[in-house]
Structure 1
Amino acid sequence: MGETLFIRLGSQAENRIHWLIKVNGQEDIIASGELPNAGELTQLTEKSAAREVVVFVPSSDIAIKRLKVPGSSQRAIRLAAPYMLEETLAQDVEQLCFAFSDIKQDEQGHNCFVAALERKQLETWLQWLAEANIFCKLMIPDTLGLPVVPQNSSAVMLGEQVLIRLGEWQVMSFEANAWPVISQYFKALDENEQTIHAYSALSEVPDELTIEYLPEELPLAILANNHARKFNLLQGDFQVKEKRSANTMNWLWVAGVACFALILNFGLKGAKLYQLSNQQDALETEIIEKYKTVFPETKRVRISTVRSQLRQKLAEVGNSEDSAGFLALLVKLEPALASVPEIKPQTLKFDGKRQEVRMQTVAKDYQYFEKLKVAFEKAGLTVNLGAQNNQGDQISGSFSITDTSMKGRS
């Protein structure tokens, strides 16, 4: 099972930060603690390296609203929502960012569930994490981590703030000295007296409120065990893309060449198919779209010239018309190259007549050339290692690689 690091940030850089680590799917806490301010987030950098990170942020900085927005299209509803909230928010709509929940409709007919916060505040939280080299793709208002208690409320005191959840999309966050005002809200809520289920001690609570204290737990653990992953503040411009590993980035060009082969194969077979098929127009459009995906710099593509254009692209990699032979040899090269990442290929040329790949490479030490030669030979390839030349802080060397089994077939 994996582990998750939960972090609860403060509104300001000087606010205390809470954190804990737990095993996914279990309630046991592996470790927990507090940091005095955002500048100390680097203490969590190592802990976040091999774990998923979920960040809670103060709901006191976020307007969590339910709306009844005319319209049947979710797109139209979400476009209209910010302007329906404009009069109730302190900042201009242009200074805010909006994140929407997938909740469709509640019992009262609300059909839009939105969290609005100042764009600058969200950027500040993300900057703190970035400066500590902590990668986070899920950020949640802290009150939405509390459990939903039907017909009643749940509450916890986290730091100096009281967090209350009254329903799936009804929450409160306030300082403890605001209880007198909050108690008036509960009195006017309905005729039936609500019970507040408290998961931690609550200070300064008025006597007229009904509080049921449950077995006390670490406040952040309550949020970690009950949060819903369906909602994320990081939407739109702030949506996080998955990071690619360095090894993946190094070999994207290999995947690109393989993609050329797939497109070429599809084009050759497609050319025959659409001559005999009633779907000619659809197939031509698909071929052109795939070509533009691989070669986005191409502005105009004509179906009649796709084959020649693909051959031209392959000619830039090797000199042979026998592209299938080159690609078959390239498939054998890839695992060996990946096993010695210290060597970086600079040029790659294919001699179709000799069924030979000539590769110019660079590395920082002579030993890596011999290591790669051994890896090629284990793959069943015949290798000639050329001279190595010292070029400043790098060493260049060349390889001539053939596949004897391929020669036999030719």
Structure 2
Amino acid sequence: MTEKLLIRIDQSAKQAIHWLIYSTDEQIIASGEYESIAELSQLSEKAQGRETVVLLSAAMVQLKTIELPAKWNRKLEQALPFMLEEQLASDVDDVFIAIGEPGSQDDKPTINIALCERENFAELIALLEEHDIQAKEIIPDALLLPEQAQGELATIELDGQWLCRLGQWHTCVIEPSWGSDYLHALSPEQIVHFSPADALPDIAPKVAKEEEYELPLAFLAKNLSSNTFNLRQGLFTPKKSTPQWWKDWRSGLIAASVALVGFIAAQGLQVVQLNKQAEQLKSEAVATYQKAFPRKKVRVALLRRQISNELKAISATQQGGFLDLADKFVSVYSQVKDFQPETLRYDHKRNELRIRVKAKDFQVFGQVKTILEQKGLTVQQGSLNNDGDAVIGEIRLRGEV
């Protein structure tokens, strides 16, 4: 169920503002009035989360039907201000022209238009936005009266004024002080009234729609769904409003975006560091291969295959003992940190592998010796010497001869 807020604003700053909150199934939720437009801020909270429609007093809007030289088109729309220039009392640049529905009269094309003072209309929209009231529709109030048969006047009383509609595109607001003269000049064939009309002069037969008497704004709201005209067009077309879900989640989404950017940046930095380490390890692998096989040409892209081939060659020359010792020694790396071999020498006759090692401290050597002995190797540890922040020593691994 969607709730709407209806606000009726008069041209006079002293005239009361009437408002109504209702649902799409025509249930009245709340209604009231404020003394003047100066209290418009009181409606700011009520407008939040509700679709807002502003009814502008028909006294502020002049409706006209213009006869056209041809069927309505874009070029005629651009020429319309010049076509109206002689019919306006003020400068055409000071008038805002809103376009209604095209039609025909006596087989000639016509266009319905609405005129209002551009500056006053702009000030009204600015005032609504200042109070955070997003009105997507602004409609002349009397245009929401039911259209009657030709020559019949529809009317309803609101705050001491009478809203009137004659035919499809003729509206006005009259007051008791001069309304009688106006109605005599208008000469309707019949007056259909939707509120008590004892104060109206008897210039034509009156038809009371008593079964439809209710709050004026509630009555007008019933015709909103059939209305197709909106003053908010052209220069005053409403901006696309920010969806409520964005207002509710904006802070969280912005924080999440910042966190995501930070995460991507951190991951990018980590990738750079890993690439740098990979290049360093690649250089160390090349250097180790060149030291082990000084007469061989190194091909970086094929280094893994070259090492595999060399190891197979060693195995083929009955030096498989070296591979066994080296394999068991390499397994130490996954268990011990701060442990770096510097040179390897293999004695084929004794099946002995001698490794000169650089470690963080003396305890590392003891840890390595224990691990290798658990693998069934005979381990001899040579002398250990301090070298600055590290310890240098030799480890001898012996397998079966």
Among 190, 196, 200, the residue aligned to 1:201: 196
The amino acid that maps onto 2:169 is W
Any gaps of 5 or more consecutive residues in structure 2?
A: 274-401
- Corresponding residue of 2:214: 217
Taking the TM superposition and a 5 Å limit, the aligned residue runs for 1:1-400 are: 1-24=1-24, 26-105=25-104, 109=108, 111-151=110-150, 152-187=152-187, 194-202=189-197, 204-215=199-210, 216-227=213-224, 228-245=226-243, 248=246, 338=253, 341=256, 348-349=264-265, 351=268, 354=271
* 1-structure distance, mates of 2:129, 2:14: 17
Q: What is the number of residues matched between the two proteins?
A: 266
* Match of residue 295 from structure 2: none
Alignment correspondent of 2:341? none
- How far off is 1:35 after superposition? 0.7
- How far off is 1:240 after superposition? 0.5
Classify 1:209/1:28 alpha carbon distance in 2 versus 1 (closer, same or farther; 3 Å). same
1:56-89 Cα offsets, whole Å, 9 max, x none, are 0011111100011112342122223323322332
Aligned-residue sequence identity (percent) comes to 32
- Give the corresponding residue for 2:286: none
Give, in whole Å, the separation in 2 of the partners of 1:234 and 1:353.
54
Q: Judge conservation of contact 2:138–2:231 (CA < 8 Å) in 1.
A: yes
Do the aligned partners of residues 219 and 251 (structure 1) sit closer, same or farther apart at CA in structure 2, a change above 3 Å counting?
closer
- Cα–Cα, structure 1 residues 250 and 221, in superposed 2: closer, same or farther, change >3 Å? closer
1:162/1:202 contact within 8 Å kept:
no
Between 220-229 and 240-249, the greater mean CA deviation after superposition: 240-249
Residues 183 and 209 in structure 1, CA contact (< 8 A), matched pair in contact too: no
The offset of 1:104, in angstroms, is: 3.5
Partner of 2:367: none
Secondary structure at 2:52 match in 1: strand
**Structure 1, unaligned runs of 5 or more:** 253-336, 357-410
Taking a change above 3 Å as real, the CA distance of residues 99 and 251 of structure 1, as seen in their structure-2 partners, is: same
The alpha-carbon distance between structure 1 residues 149 and 343, as it changes in their structure 2 partners (threshold 3 A), is same
Q: Which has the larger radius of gyration?
A: 2
**TM-score after normalising by structure 2:** 0.60
User: What's the counterpart of residue 338 of structure 2?
Assistant: none
Moved more, 107-116 or 347-356: 347-356
Q: Is the 8 A contact 1:179 1:204 kept in 2?
A: no
1:22-77 Cα shifts (integer Å, max 9, x gaps): 111x2331111111111212221111101100000011111100011112342122
Q: How far apart are 1:130 and its partner, in Å?
A: 1.9
When residues 249 and 135 of structure 1 are mapped into structure 2, their CA distance, relative to the original with a 3 A threshold, is: closer
Deviations for 1:5-28, whole angstroms, at most 9, x for unmatched residues? Answer: 00001213332100001111x233
Contact 1:200 1:217 in 2 (8 A): yes
Q: Is the 8 A contact 2:184 2:203 kept in 1?
A: no
Distance 1:245 1:344 in 2: 23
Q: Classify the secondary structure of the residue corresponding to 1:206.
A: coil
> SS state of the match for residue 180, structure 2?
helix
Question: What's the C-alpha RMSD, in Å, of the aligned pairs?
Answer: 3.0
SS at structure 1 position matched to 2:222: helix
**Deviation for aligned residue 1:180:** 2.6
Rate the CA distance shift 1:345–1:351 in 2: closer, same or farther, 3 A. Answer: closer
Name whichever of 9-18 and 30-39 sits farther off.
9-18
Q: 2:269 & 2:101 partners in 1: Cα distance?
A: 56
Matches of 2:206 and 2:200 in 1, distance apart?
9
AA of the residue aligned to 2:233: Q
User: In structure 2, do the counterparts of structure 1 residues 208 and 13 end up closer, same or farther at CA, with 3 Å as the change threshold?
Assistant: closer
Q: Distance in 2 between matches of 1:153 and 1:186?
A: 9
State the Cα distance separating 1:220 from its structure 2 match: 1.3
